[in-house]
Structure 1
Amino acid sequence: MIAIAVAVMQVVVILIHRRRHDATGPRVTPWAYMAACLGACVVGWLIIGRPTIEWGDLFLALVFGVLIGSETARSVEDLSGRAWAAWATAAVCGAASATWLLQNPLPFT
């Protein structure tokens, strides 16, 4: 449930960013945010007890945690103008995406 709520938040932030800013400008790949999201995903996996990894769940965790999470962090940086907000977003998105790996939703495990 946490992963779904964060995924919806990510999509909303990205859509707001694309609505407010010019989409024809140069696109920069947020490699630093990708690394931060991946690290936060690994830390989140360790915190929730290292559940077994299945390929379908791993795909969701990597897509929402790393790819969409880094895009969300870049969008937050453009919208707020603060780097710390983008890094915090990358950490939250990465850590929350680790809950895709659980067999049951987090509040019910």
Structure 2
Amino acid sequence: MNIDKIEFIAWMERVMQRFDILKEHLRDIQKQRNTIDGEELLDNQDLLLMLKISHRSLQRYRSSGKLPYYTISGKLYYKLSDVHQFVRESFNVPLQRTKDNK
């Protein structure tokens, strides 16, 4: 089978357009899967990287009720707005002064 260069380039452009359509479709599916009520959900790995904390620290924040979480099919998720609220509250906590620092 012989095809000339122009036909080959046209064929490759069609293939690449199909890949672009598939890529957009996959992004839409991923966005739908990782949202609840239109809000982005983050998993443990997302939070560990975002907050630069250990697994144990994340578990402690969940256990203490400081960071709300949701379990979906056995996997833990966090609403992005809850994470933002957690960060704001963490920064607003005044440092305890000791008697020596007064």
Q: Same fold (TM over 0.5)?
A: no
TM-score, normalized by length of structure 2? Answer: 0.25
TM-score, normalized by length of structure 1? Answer: 0.23
Looking at secondary structure, tell me which structure has more strand per residue.
Answer: 2
* Higher RCO (C-alpha 8 Å, min separation 6): 1
Please say which structure displays the higher CA radius of gyration. Answer: 2
Looking at secondary structure, tell me which structure has more helix per residue.
Answer: 1
